[in-house]
Amino acid sequence: MSESNSIIIKDLTLRYGKGPVTQIEQIPADEVLSEPVVWLAGHISGRLPENSKFEFIHAPKGRKTIVRPLPVDRGRFASTIELLNGTNEVTFRITDSDDKVLSQKCFTLYYKSAFREWNETVFIAFILALIIRSLVLQAFWIPTGSMEPTLLGEKRDPFTNKLERSGDRILVNKFAYLADFTLDGRLPFLPKVWFKLPKRGDIIVFKYPDKEVANPPRDFIKRVIGLPGDSVKIIDGVTFINGNPLQEPYIAQPPWQDYETAVPNDSLFVMGDNRNNSADSRTWGMMPLANLKGQAIFLYWPLKSGPLLRAGPIRSYEHQPIPGSDGKISQNPNGSAPAEESR
């Protein structure tokens, strides 16, 4: 800023909307105005030389600069301007006949329209929703009966196909076991940070390990039965882990088919609670830890089934420790919603 000793632009004030007249020097440097039309006024001390120019310059960031002369009446001047979104550089300037600056006042005004504010709010909300859905909490729907009686799937009339019961709606904690910064594979160059392994008896959601990579991804929901390194046997309807029988009060009925396998160190063995009506690790093999999405923690719909309240926490079954089950990850498993099971 350059000023003459005898000519000074001073007492600059601003008013917008229905607010009071405010000295520009008293406006915080980072204040964002909510009204586009601003009234500006001020004084000039001293007498303007002959052929001098008093100009108002409005330079919105990234837009064309507006320069216009301002009339002065008894040392007073006033002007209205319409701000544009973002930064608006404003200058009052007096120059002589040789374009030498005799006095000038420069300041910056920031404006954000309601439309832009709304768009930014929606955008931020979208990003937060994406992060929450990918990292923290996600809703799923249970369309089949593979987890009954713990979680109920859809029920239809076998003759009319009319929907008699909607599947349960649940919330899955995606932060229970790991932080997936890849956002479900959208950012594959970012890491997955593991906190812990699922426990035996946890109900988990995972990406179905489909051998046909061209198929669209599906999310399944099952209960953890075998941990890494376990041996699993099913004999006469009883599940044995490392030779120890497993108490399973949550199943619909004992499995009718015998089975035997060993769980690799990078996988889990999972089964549905409706043992005789569930496609699970007995059918398609182990659940890779890299496919794990989270833990089912809350049933939020339906609220009731008849007189009984159904909405509430989905609790894991706390199995007693089994000898030979360390449940450790031998190496960090790095892997990249209708499910048969959850959607």
Q: Which domain holds residue 76?
A: 8-112
The verdict on residue 325 lying in a domain is no
β partners of residue 37: 82
In sequence order, what DSSP letters do the residues of 77-100 get, joined into one string?
EEEEEE--SEEEEEEEEEE-TT--
**Contact yes or no for 241/322 (Cβ under 8 A):** yes
**Is residue 49 located within the same domain as residue 93?**
yes
pLDDT digits (tens, 9 = 90+) for 77-104: 999 999 999 999 999 999 998 999 999 9
Lowest mean pLDDT, pick from 3-17, 54-68, 98-112, 171-185: 3-17
Residue 76 lies in a domain: yes
Q: Among residues 63, 79, 112, which one ends one of the domains?
A: 112
Q: Which two tokens stand for residue 185?
A: 């594979």
Return mean pLDDT, the chain: 88
Same domain, 49 and 85: yes
Residues 98 and 239 occupy one common structural domain: no
Euclidean distance between CA atoms 301 and 147, whole angstroms: 16
* Length reported for the chain: 343
Q: Own/partner pairs for 70-75, CB < 8 Å, 24+ apart?
A: 72/44, 72/48, 75/43, 75/44, 75/45
Q: How confident is the model at residue 261 (pLDDT cuts 50, 70, 90)?
A: very high
Same domain, 96 and 221: no
What was the pLDDT predicted at 327? 56
Please count the structural domains in the chain.
2
Whether residue 319 is contained in a domain is answered as: no
Of the residues 82, 112, 142, which one is the last residue of a structural domain?
112
Residue 7, pLDDT > 70, answer: yes
CATH number at 84 reads: 2.70.50.30
Q: Are residues 181 and 274 in the same domain?
A: yes
Q: What is the CATH number of the domain that holds 150?
A: 2.10.109.10
- Spell out the residues 6+ positions from residue 28 whose beta carbon is closer than 8 angstroms to its own: none
The residues with which 163 forms a beta bridge, in sequence order, are 156
Catalytic residues: 146, 222
- Establish if 168 belongs to a structural domain: yes
Q: Are 100 and 3 in contact (CB under 8 A)?
A: no
Using one digit for the tens of pLDDT, what is the confidence trace for 145-183?
A: 999 999 999 988 888 889 888 899 999 999 999 988 887
- Judgement on whether residues 107 and 137 belong to the same structural domain of the protein: no
| Distances, alpha carbon 29 to alpha carbons 179, 231, 240, in Å | 39, 68, 71
Considering the domain architecture, whether residues 12 and 160 belong to the same structural domain is answered as: no
pLDDT at residue 325, as a whole number: 65
Mean pLDDT of 218-229: 96
Q: Which has the closest alpha carbon to 270: 253, 257, 252, 289?
A: 289
